[in-house]
Structure 1
Amino acid sequence: MTDPLFHMIAGGPRPVAPFSHAVETDGLVFVTGQMPTDPEAPDAPLPEGIKAQTHRVIENLRIVLAGIGLSLEHIVMARIYLTDFYRDYDALNAIWMETFPEGRRPARTTVGVNGLALHALVEIDLVARRPDAGN
């Protein structure tokens, strides 16, 4: 077992709490839940609506993954948190299907919550795997 690597991504989203963008151990990468903030304007208002916020969160996940040499194709598990589950679930699923092709979609759990940091509508955390892990 290797010692964990704690990653903070230069130019990545500004953390909303004391955490690392990602922690890596034994080929697995645990990415902290990303918010719909703009890394280039972290104090700007959040995008309006679930579609815009979901796209921004996915872009932030891309930024974090790229910062450690990975991409969305390396995701094996995602957890999604929605503050208005019944209103936003279908819109989230539509974006998810556009983002991940059939046959390459990560395992996923989606839960409704009563609040998120910054009053966001959506947050996504994930687990990725290095392609050379275990070889």
Structure 2
Amino acid sequence: MSKAPKPVGSYPLARKAGGLLFLSGVGPRIAGSDQHDSGVPGLSLDHNGNFKEFDFAAQVHSVFANVKAILEENGSSWEKLVDIQVFLVDMKRDFHTFNRIYAEYFADVDPKPCRTTIAINALPTPIAIELKCVAEPND
């Protein structure tokens, strides 16, 4: 059983091609949670789906844990990431927090992966961040 949450659509968590591992968009939901419940650390919603509690830093730590789990389950690792696309729902509010946490997770990684951060207006579930990653396999 995967330590990462199931995809919210008909696609794999990861696929190997051309000697690389491509991860589908990875969010912060906890493995075993349903796409219709929150299942997101630091997030609780009222009966209308409005935020009661929101902790973006908790979502960042959770999405990184999910990426690590998918990488390890597919024969790669955090240090083998070569490219990361970051999708943020609120760039103004969350970019600096993301950058700070990202720097902590990659402090000892050399070479560091390329990265692109993209502002978007929504994701398909009530999350504020999603990562799209490419990695090399472990040697």
Considering the TM-score relative to the shorter chain, is it more than 0.5?
A: yes
Matched residue, 1:114: 121
**1:10/1:61 CA distance change after superposition, 3 Å:** same
Structure 1 stretches of 4+ moved >6 Å: none
**1:114/1:21 CA distance change after superposition, 3 Å:** same
Matched residue, 1:10: 2
Segments of 5+ residues of structure 1 without an aligned counterpart are 1-8
Shift of 1:27: 1.0
Q: Judge conservation of contact 2:3–2:66 (CA < 8 Å) in 1.
A: no
Of 23-32 and 85-94, deviating more is 23-32
Secondary structure of the residue aligned to 1:117 is: coil
Q: Deviations over 1:65-101 (max 9, x none)?
A: 1101211101000000000001100000011101012
**Equivalent position amino acid for 1:123 in 2:** E
Structure 1: distance between partners of 2:71 and 2:24: 11
The one of 12, 17, 24 equivalent to 1:32 is: 24
Residue 45 (structure 1) aligned with residue 39 (structure 2): yes
In percent, how many aligned pairs have the same letter? Answer: 31
Of 119-128 and 43-52, deviating more is 43-52
Q: Judge conservation of contact 1:35–1:124 (CA < 8 Å) in 2.
A: yes
Residue 62 (structure 1) aligned with residue 54 (structure 2): no
Matched residue, 1:76: 82
Q: Judge conservation of contact 2:28–2:59 (CA < 8 Å) in 1.
A: yes
| TM-score, length of structure 2 as denominator length | 0.81
- Residue-pair matches, total: 124
Matched residue, 2:47: none
**Equivalent position amino acid for 2:28 in 1:** P
CA RMSD of aligned residues (A): 1.7
